[in-house]
C-alpha cells in the first residue's frame, strides 16, 4: 500500500493540464493503485494524478464507501445545479460554497483500457467535476465569484507560505 503525499497550492503541477494516458501498462496500474490507496485515507473523496505529482489524466474517488478510478475522463450530460461547501486536499483547511452541476456523466477508461461510464448525482457528480478540473489545471477556487472569491484569495495569501 502506497499513500502518496499531496501536492499543495503553489506547486506548478496543479496548474498544468495533465497529459492524456496513451499506454495502459503496468506503470499506469501502479499509479492507479497509489491513487486508490491515497484516496482511502479518512476524509478524502478524490485524488487526481497531478495532486500526487503525476501529470496524467487519471483520478480516483471514494464516495459513499465506493472507491474507483477513471482514466482520460470526459464530462457530459450536465444537469441542474447544486451549491455546497467544497474543499480540496491541495488547499488544506479551506472550504467555500461552490456551485456545480447536480448530475453529470463521465466517460473514459479503466486502468486496463476498458471503456467506463459513471453517471454521477449529488456528491459523486461534484467529485467527478472537481477531479476532472484538476486534470485541466484548475482548482475549485477558480470557479468562485464575487465576494466569496475575494475572501478565498485573501485567505490563500494568509495561509500559503511564500
Annotated binding residue 134: yes
CA distance 27 to 159: 35
**Are the beta carbons of 70 and 108 closer than 8 angstroms?**
yes
**Catalytic residue annotation:** 131
CA distance 59 to 1: 17
CA distance 79 to 34: 32
Q: In angstroms, what CA-CA distances link 113 with 28, 69, 70? A: 10, 12, 10
CA distance 71 to 80: 25
Annotated binding residue 130: yes
Residue ranges for the binding site for Fe cation?
88, 130, 134
Amino acid at each position: 500500500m502506497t499513500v502518496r503525499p499531496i501536492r499543495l497550492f503553489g506547486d506548478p503541477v496543479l496548474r498544468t493540464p495533465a497529459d492524456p494516458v496513451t499506454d495502459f501498462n503496468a506503470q499506469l496500474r501502479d499509479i492507479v493503485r497509489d491513487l486508490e490507496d491515497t484516496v482511502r485515507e479518512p476524509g478524502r473523496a478524490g485524488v487526481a494524478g497531478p495532486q500526487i505529482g503525476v501529470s496524467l489524466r487519471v483520478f480516483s474517488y471514494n464516495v459513499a464507501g465506493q472507491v474507483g478510478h477513471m482514466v482520460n475522463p470526459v464530462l457530459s450530460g450536465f444537469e441542474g445545479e447544486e451549491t455546497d461547501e467544497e474543499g480540496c486536499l491541495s488547499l488544506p483547511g479551506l472550504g467555500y460554497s461552490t456551485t456545480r452541476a447536480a448530475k453529470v456523466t463521465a466517460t473514459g477508461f479503466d486502468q486496463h483500457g476498458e471503456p467506463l461510464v459513471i453517471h454521477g448525482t449529488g456528491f459523486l457528480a461534484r467529485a467527478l467535476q472537481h477531479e476532472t478540473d484538476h486534470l485541466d489545471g484548475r482548482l475549485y477556487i477558480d470557479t468562485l465569484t464575487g465576494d466569496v472569491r475575494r475572501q478565498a484569495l485573501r485567505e490563500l495569501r494568509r495561509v500559503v507560505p511564500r
